Amino acid sequence: MSRPVVEQLEFDFEFGCPFIEAEYYRDGAQDLIQKLVPADLLEPSAIAPALQRARFADMLPLIRWSDLSKAPCSLSVLLLCKYRLNACNFFYDMICRWLLPQRRVNVELFFASDVRLPHLSDDLLSVAEVVVYLKSAQDAEEVRRNFHAIETEIRLGVVSNYHARRILEFKGLSTDGKTAMIQEKIGSLIQSHSKDFDQGIFSQMQQFLVNCPDDFKTLRDYHHISRIISNLHSLRKLLKQNADALPTKRHVLAKFLKTRLHVPREKDKPVLGVLAGLNFLREHEVFETGHLIAAIRQQLPLARLVEGSSFVDPAREASLQALYLEIEKSDGTDFSLDEVQLLRNVLPDQLKGHIEQLTHPIYMPRNEEEVLRNIMSLSRQLRFVHDTPQVIISFDEPRGDELHFTVILLRIFSEGMLPVQELLVKTKTDLPYISDRVRKLGSLRRKYIKEATVFRTVVNSASFLRSDRSVDLYKARQHILNQLTRALGELRDYNGGMILKQNEQLTALKAALGKTGTAHSILLEKFFHALMPMEVRTSSETEPLKQLFLLLLSATKTESRLPFAGSDFFLKQEAQRVVAVLPRLESDKKRQLLCNIEELLIPPHHFATFSLEVNEIPYTGFLLLSSEKSLQERFLAAISL
C-alpha cells in the first residue's frame, strides 16, 4: 500500500549559503522526513497534539534501511534524530567503516541537514542519508548479518556523545578521529576549569600529539591521552611556579595514572603511567627515561618499561624537564594500591639521586715512566719460584661506552706455559687483549724466567652504571680481576689491597642494614666513601657505622620536610659511643667546630667524621667511640655551638 504524499511539510529549513540553491536541499530533507516519519504524524489528525509529540519523542532516533536486492546493488540508510554535535559524522563512520567490519564500503551519496518540525518537537533535529554500493552477494549477506548490531550501536551513539566515543574506541577509532575527540575533551576542560587550565594547554596538546607515534594513540583511549596532556600541563605549570619561588632548591613532582592498553587480538594489559618533572640546578644535568626507570625499579623490581610509551616533553624553559612513561609488571599482574602509594611516597626523593651530571672526557697521555716503575716494583715481589703472580690494574680513560684499562702482569714463566693471550682465549673470558709488550726480566735459579706482560683491555660501561648513571670503576676493575683469575689462577692484586678491604667493609655494612641499605644504596656508598680518616673504611666495626648512617638517613628525611629551617643537630648517645649529624652547617661554623674537636685530642681510631651533600642540603656527621663519660660530655659541648 502506497503512503500518501504530503505536498508541503510544516518544518523549518535554514540554509544561508548564497552560492548554493537552498530549495534543492530543502526538497531533499523533506523527502527523507516523509520516508522516515509515519504519515499519520505528518498529516492533520484528530489526535491531541501533546500525544503526537510524545509519540514522536518515543520513536526517536528513527532509522530505516532500504531493501537489499541481489548484488551488485545500492543500499540506502536513513536517520532522523535529535541534534547532537557530530552525530551525523558518527552515523557516517558507522556505515562507512563498520557495515562490513573488515573493510570500508564505497559511499555513493551522503546527505545531512539540521531541521525543525515545530508541530512534533521543540528540539533541533538532524536528518541524514548514506547510500553505499555492495559489489557481491557475499557483501550483501554480511550486511544482513550486521544489520541489527549496527542499528543498535547507531541508536546509542547518536543520542549520547559518551556512547559514541566508547563504541568507536571499542571498534578501533582512527588516529584522526581520536585526535578530534582529544581536542574536544581539552576544550571542555578550559570551559569547566578555567582557573586550572589556560590556553597554553592547546600548545601542550599539539606538542604531545605531534611527537607521540600513531601506535601510542592507537593502543590508548582518548580519555587517558587527555589525562596525560592535562596532567602534563598542570605539572609543568606548578613546577615553574615552585622553581621561580625557590630557584636554588631542587623541585621534583610525580603523578601516577592507572590504565589498560587495548592490544589487538590480546587481553587488555594493565599498566601504570608515570609523570615526572623536575628542575635542573647545574649546567649539563641530564634526566631521561633510563634514569626514571632505574629509580622505579629500586622500589618495584618487577616493573619494566612498556615499549613505545615514553615521551619527553620538549622544554620551553631549559631548566625544567618533564617526561611520561608507562610501566608494566613482568608477570602481567596489575599494580596494587599499596605499590602505587609506595611510589608516590618515595619516588620524588629518589629521583633527586638519579640526575646524571655530564662531564667532559679527560685526556691524559699514559706515563710510560710510571709503567716501567710498576714493572720493577712487581718484579721485586717475585723472589721465589712458587710466588703468586702479581698484577696492577690501572684505569686509562673512557671512550664513548667503553672503559679502557692497562694491565701489568708479572709471573714466573717456565717451559710449557701458555702466553697470557692464549690463556684468556682458552678460558673464554670477555676481556679483549690489546698487546703492548712482553718482556723477560731475569730469572730464578737460572731456569725460571720473570715474565712481564703489559696489555690493554676494554669493558662496556653499561654493565657498571649505578642508579645515578655514574660509572662504578671499582666494580669494573673487580670484574677484570675476576676474569684474569679465572684464566690465570690465583693472583695478587698489588694496587687493590686497600680497595678490596674497603669493598669487604662496605659489603658488611650493606648486609647489616638489610633492606634499608638496598633501598638507599647510592646514599650508603657516598656516605661510606666520605668517611674520614680513611682507615675507618677498612678497620672500623660495622655497628657504629650502621648507627651513624641510620642517623644520617633520619636527618635527610626530616630536613626534606623543613625547607627553610631544620633542627640544630641529630644526636644518639650510648654507653660505648656518640653519633651526631648536623645539617646545613655553615663553613665558618664547621671550621670552628672541627677546631674544638681537635683540642679534645681524641685518638684517631676512636673518631670519625664525614661531609656530604644530599638533595642540595649539606650534612656533617661525627662518630665518637669512647665509653668515657667525661669525654662524651666534652665532645657534646664542642659540637653544641
Residue 639 contacts residue 569 (beta carbons within 8 Å): yes
- Confidence check: pLDDT of 512 > 70: yes
pLDDT for the residue numbered 6: 43
- Strand-pairing partners, residue 513, are none
Q: What is the pLDDT of residue 332?
A: 87
Residue 603 has pLDDT above 80, yes or no: yes
Q: What does the domain layout of the chain look like in residue ranges?
A: 22-171, 190-357, 368-495, 511-639
Of 4-13, 134-143, 475-484, where does the model show the most confidence?
A: 475-484
Dist. CA 435–CA 414, nearest whole Å:
21
Using one digit for the tens of pLDDT, what is the confidence trace for 357-410?
A: 877 666 667 778 889 999 999 999 998 988 999 999 999 888 888 999 999 999
CA–CA distance, 261 with 225 (Å, rounded to integer): 12
Amino acid 451 reads E
301-357, pLDDT tens digit by residue?
A: 899 999 989 888 765 566 888 999 999 998 889 999 999 999 999 898 888 888 888
pLDDT for the residue numbered 3: 45
Q: How far is Cα of residue 521 from the mean position of the Cα atoms in its chain?
A: 21
Residue 2: what pLDDT?
42
pLDDT band with cut points at 50, 70 and 90 for residue 217: confident
Residue 76 β-bridge partners: 131
Contact, 305 vs 292, CB < 8 A? no
How far apart, in whole angstroms, are the C-alpha atoms of residue 106 and residue 99? 11
Indicate whether 16 pLDDT > 50.
yes
Confidence of residue 14 (pLDDT cuts 50, 70, 90): low
Per-residue pLDDT at 172 exceeds 50: yes
Amino acid identity of residue 596, one-letter, is N
What local confidence, expressed as pLDDT, does residue 352 receive?
A: 85
pLDDT band at 102 (very low <50, low <70, confident <90, very high): low
Q: Is the pLDDT of residue 272 over 90?
A: yes
**Strand (E) positions, 432-553?**
434-444, 448-460, 492-493
Convert the pLDDT of each residue in 37-50 to its tens digit. Answer: 888 787 766 567 88
Greater pLDDT, 483 or 560: 483
Query: Residue 521: phi, psi to the nearest 5?
Result: -65, -40
Checking phi first, is residue 387 left (phi over 0); if not, alpha (psi -120 to 50) or beta?
beta
22: left (phi over 0), alpha (psi -120 to 50) or beta: alpha
363 backbone dihedrals φ, ψ, rounded to 5°: -105, 120
Q: What is the pLDDT of residue 277?
A: 92
